[in-house]
Amino acid sequence: METEPHDITKVIYDEMYVAPGEPRVQYRAVYDQITSMEHEDLMLRQQAADQSFLHQGVTFTVYGEDEGTERIFPYDLIPRIVTSDEWATIERGLKQRIYALNLFLHDIYNEGRILADGVVPNELIFTCKHFRREMRGVSVPKDIYVSIVGTDLVRISDGSFAVLEDNLRVPSGVSYMLANRQVMKRVFPKMFANYGVRAIDNYGQVLLSTLRNLAPRRGTEPNIVLLTPGVFNSAYFEHTFLARQMGVELVEGRDLLVHDNIVYTRTTAGLKRVDVIYRRIDDDFIDPLSFRSDTQLGVPGLFNAYRAGNVALANAIGTGIADDKALYAYVPKIIKYYLGEDSILQNIDTYLLDDPGSRNYVLDNLDKLVVKAVGESGGYGMLIGPHSTKAEQEQFRDLILANPRNYIAQPTLALSTAPCLIGREIVSRHVDLRPYVLYGEEITIVPGGLTRVALKEGSLVVNSSQGGGSKDTWVLM
Amino acid sequence: MLSRVAENMYWLSRYLERAEHTSRALNLTLNLILEQRTDEERQWMMRHLMESLFADQLPEGATLYDMTHALAFDRENSASITHCIGRARENARQIREQISSEMWEHLNAMYHRVNQATLDSIWQSQSTHGFFSGVTQGAHLFQGITDSTMSHNEGWYFLQLGRYLERAIYNAHFLDVQFRVLQLSPDYPAIAKDFMKWVGLLKSFTAFESYCKVYSADLRSEQVIEFLLLNAEFPHSIRFSIDNAEQALKAIDRFTETKRAASVTRLIGKLRSDLTFAQIDEVMESTGLSIYLNQLQIECGKVHDAVNRVYISYSVDKALEY
């Protein structure tokens, strides 16, 4: 069947091949290596890699099974390559985007100029469940709201990268990026060395200096802690990993207490003042006195200490407003408004469903579109039209009609594919890319990211909670 | 170190020690009961075992099987092996990144082994001895793995503290119940009556061989008591346990340098010096053995409370004073 060359719903860009059996220049050596190897050898290396993950304890917890069940996040041997030109665009685009979104957050929690000027509609902000009234007028260290970001990019038909989601709350997965690289260097040392891949190992240090930059007290070495919901959280491994990488204490809510608006850790040697908290707990659960009270995870009084300027949080509270999926549609306008620039990375067309015209169009085309709940992440609350049943479509129709503001729709993208070793065969699977952005004294993006793979044939869902895997991502020098 | 982490370390080893203790005592009783001819004697032994393990008494007419179930597999029973190992593992799980992976893997494997076993199967195959020895050995192995794979830092000392304090408390109680039962004959040349029970008592502390090396196989009740209570070298004696608990507390004091530690140091120091200088005849005659053992348990409880107050759940105001 003939397709339009740039129909983003049909034309699939392949990461490795220009045409069947014909790899792109940057993949030549990987292609030669893989195709020249005996199958047994490939399998052995895959096993060695899996073993290595298991032994390092690079695992995530599977819910609903026998307690203590841990799985490794499936890892694919064949690297994903990003050329230095492609990376330069990604880097510029992400810096621009995060810079603008941060200005946006500052604006809506202070003067609200962008609302007054009618660029972003008022209702959109005030109807967002991640908007925190409590944050209005609160002064945030260095005016940095989002210190840590993991933006989801996809490569579309024409080979360019587009932003799929801005994750501005508590993005995860960076430990897999780092662990994948460690394993890759062990499994394919020679090929790796010959390629000229940019290093990512300094992520922990950059993260530490990003956090240190937020410390409210000057002149003393800041006490930085990583706040985890605890061992039952599926990303607990990552929390321990990052705490180790940075050499900071891993704490749970019950290890912290607030007295006279100062936050302390309770240690055997007495109370120790805390300056910066890298929190891996959502806003809702962080302080039962200010937000949800039916939780034991957080720290009573933390928000007041924060508001008093005695402790810094990364990320700030209320950043979820800027990664709301409906707000996403306005990001190009937001960039234009604050920076006077056109967006470098493109957005995916998004239908906002409180507009009756768009809504009718979407309801008529549920079998072709992707519908997402605006405040969800991790691949939950989502309908992928072409892969859905009539019953699922009907269910979403009802959901949309009941609460149009809560959903958006986008065309079903043909995500790019990359070859993966699955079972005994090398087959094509859809991938995305999540680079990790750190906003400290300046914005830094370690050259790499987590390439997530939808392991099921034809599937477009790459989330680890939904059966995804990952690849090492090489950014070339 | 975080107070929560210290607390998990402490309870991890207390529970594991308790599981080992139950396992040894139960294994031995099952063995001794084989020698009993009457049902009355058997019931009597069972009651005393339950009492010496701080466990609730079984209903009238309970069988050996019931007792074994209660002490080994009843998760609701806080003295049972499965309960204690489950709690030990739960504490370890909270601090997985603080202990070595070898420790975690061993404890986790032990937990699954105990959990998958059923009393019916070990009862039918008559392999109770193998099962309980396995638990005891597992606990010993954990100790060895801990000593050789974990840094001997503050956390390691909290593990030591938990183990030895638990040992002292349990042993004091256990001995109290057992000595009340065994007739103490003050002017025996040797123990003729109840010989097996005295051997059993020593064996339940894995002390028989060590005892023989010190006093020869000539069992005398006063010597047995002296050995289990006051011997400085035998790792299951109460004195040895308190010596080691004190060492651990001194080390923790060095690590934390908190001024509030004085109350703990004083309590444990007093207890340790008392055991160092105690004479068995004084204990038996002027104080009375039972009173002495009870007093010991109370003192250990005070140490536990003080540790909690100083290192774990101190009040904020107290902590800010210093």
Residue matched to tokens 């699954």:
B112
pLDDT, position A409:
93
Cα(B163)–Cα(B15) distance, integer angstroms: 8
> A231 contacts in B (CB within 8 Å)?
93-94, 96
φ, ψ of residue A218 to 5 degrees: the values are -100, 155
Of B108, B252, B258, the CB nearest to A68: B108
Q: What is the pLDDT of residues B268-291, one digit of tens each?
A: 999 999 999 999 988 888 888 999
Question: Quick check: B93 pLDDT over 90?
Answer: no
Residue matched to tokens 């992707």:
A370
H or E element that contains A49: helix A39-56
The whole-number average pLDDT for the span A322-348 is: 95
CA B149 to chain centre: 23
Percent of chain B at pLDDT above 70? 96
Name the interface residues of A facing B (CB cutoff 8 Å).
Answer: 57, 68, 230-231, 240, 243-244, 249-252, 254-255, 257, 259, 264-271
Q: Which of A163-177, A304-318, B197-211 has the lowest mean pLDDT?
A: B197-211
The single-letter code of the amino acid at A300 is P
Cα(B264)–Cα(B201) distance, integer angstroms: 32
pLDDT, position B169:
96
Beta bridge partners of A279: A227
pLDDT, position A3:
42
Does the beta-carbon distance from B1 to A268 stay under 8 Å?
yes
Q: Does B316 touch chain A (CB under 8 A)?
A: yes
Question: Which 8-state DSSP code applies to residue A413?
Answer: -
A to B CB pairs, distance under 8 Å:
58
The whole-number average pLDDT for the span B61-77 is: 92
> B255 contacts in A (CB within 8 Å)?
268-269
Q: Does B153 touch chain A (CB under 8 A)?
A: no
SS3 at position A409: strand
Question: Quick check: A256 pLDDT over 70?
Answer: yes
- pLDDT band for A376, please (50, 70, 90 cuts): confident
Q: What is the pLDDT of residues A86-95, one digit of tens each?
A: 999 999 999 9
Of A257, A264, A268, the CB nearest to B252: A268
Does the beta-carbon distance from B97 to A243 stay under 8 Å?
yes
Of A68, A259, A265, the CB nearest to B2: A265
| Mean per-residue pLDDT of chain A | 90
pLDDT, position A378:
64
Percent of chain A at pLDDT above 90? 69
The span from the first CA to the last CA of chain A, in angstroms, equals 39
3-state secondary structure chain B: CEHHHHHHHHHHHHHHHHHHHHHHHHHHHHHHHCCCCCHHHHHHHHHHHHHHCCCCCCCCCCCHHHHHHHHHHCCCCCCCHHHHHHHHHHHHHHCCCCCCHHHHHHHHHHHHHHHHCCHHHHHHCCCHHHHHHHHHHHHHHHHHHHHHHCCCCHHHHHHHHHHHHHHHHHHHHHHHHHHHHCCCCCCCCCCCCCHHHHHHHHHHCCCHHHHHHHHCCCCCHHHHHHHHHHCCCCCCCHHHHHHHHHHHHHHHHHHHCCHHHHHHHHHHHHHHHHHHHCCHHHHHHHHCHHHHHHHHHHHHHHHHHHHHHHHHCCCHHHHHHC
Name the token pair of A393.
């479509």
Q: What is the pLDDT of residues A447-459, one digit of tens each?
A: 999 999 998 888 8
Q: Which of A224-228, A296-300, A398-402, A464-468 has the lowest mean pLDDT?
A: A464-468
The better pLDDT of the pair B190, A316 is held by A316
pLDDT, position B186:
53
pLDDT, position A15:
95
Write the CB contacts of B38 (distance below 8 Å, at least 6 apart in sequence).
Answer: none
The single-letter code of the amino acid at A41 is D
User: Nearest-CA residue of chain B relative to A259?
Assistant: B316
> A266 contacts in B (CB within 8 Å)?
2-4, 314, 319
CB-facing half-sphere around the CA of A373: CA atoms within 13 A: 13
- pLDDT band for A58, please (50, 70, 90 cuts): confident
- pLDDT band for A4, please (50, 70, 90 cuts): very low
The whole-number average pLDDT for the span A277-301 is: 91
Question: DSSP assignment of A231-296, as one string?
Answer: TTSTTHHHHHHHHHHHT-EEE-GGGEEEETTEEEEEETTEEEE--EEEE-S-GGGT-TTTS-SS-S
The single-letter code of the amino acid at A136 is R
> A257 contacts in B (CB within 8 Å)?
316
Q: What is the pLDDT of residues B121-161, one digit of tens each?
A: 889 888 899 999 999 999 999 999 999 999 999 999 999 99
Does the beta-carbon distance from A249 to B94 stay under 8 Å?
no
Q: What is the pLDDT of residues A390-413, one digit of tens each?
A: 999 999 999 999 999 889 999 998
Q: What is the largest CA-CA distance in chain A?
A: 72
Q: Are the C-beta atoms of A442 and A47 separated by less than 8 Å? A: no
Q: Are strands A407-411 and A276-279 parallel, antiparallel or unpaired?
A: unpaired
Surface-to-core class of residue B121, CB atoms within 10 Å of its CB (0-12 exposed, 13-18 middle, 19+ buried): exposed
Residue ranges of B 2-41 with Cβ closer than 8 A to chain A: 2-4, 6
> B261 contacts in A (CB within 8 Å)?
none
Does the beta-carbon distance from B3 to A255 stay under 8 Å?
yes
Q: Does B294 touch chain A (CB under 8 A)?
A: no
| Mean per-residue pLDDT of chain B | 90
Cα(A328)–Cα(B171) distance, integer angstroms: 67
- pLDDT band for B201, please (50, 70, 90 cuts): confident
Does the beta-carbon distance from A266 to B3 stay under 8 Å?
yes
pLDDT, position A2:
41
Q: Does B311 touch chain A (CB under 8 A)?
A: yes
φ, ψ of residue A258 to 5 degrees: the values are -115, 130
Cα(A108)–Cα(A119) distance, integer angstroms: 12
pLDDT, position A6:
58
- pLDDT band for A63, please (50, 70, 90 cuts): low
The span from the first CA to the last CA of chain B, in angstroms, equals 18
Question: Quick check: A81 pLDDT over 80?
Answer: yes
Q: What is the pLDDT of residues A161-219, one digit of tens each?
A: 999 999 999 999 999 999 999 999 999 999 999 999 999 999 999 999 999 999 998 88
What CA–CA distances, in Å, run from A91 to A88, A175, A345, A346, A439?
5, 20, 10, 13, 13
Cα(A140)–Cα(A349) distance, integer angstroms: 33
Q: Are the C-beta atoms of B221 and B182 separated by less than 8 Å? A: yes
Beta bridge partners of A287: none
User: Nearest-CA residue of chain A relative to B3?
Assistant: A267
Name the token pair of A398.
């009802």
In a mutagenesis test of the B interface, which of A268, A273, A274, A299 is the best target, namely the one with the most B β-carbons within 10 Å? A268
> B105 contacts in A (CB within 8 Å)?
none
Question: DSSP assignment of A145-197, as one string?
Answer: S-SEEE-EEEE-TTS-EEEEE---S----HHHHHHHHHHHHHHSHHHHHHH-B
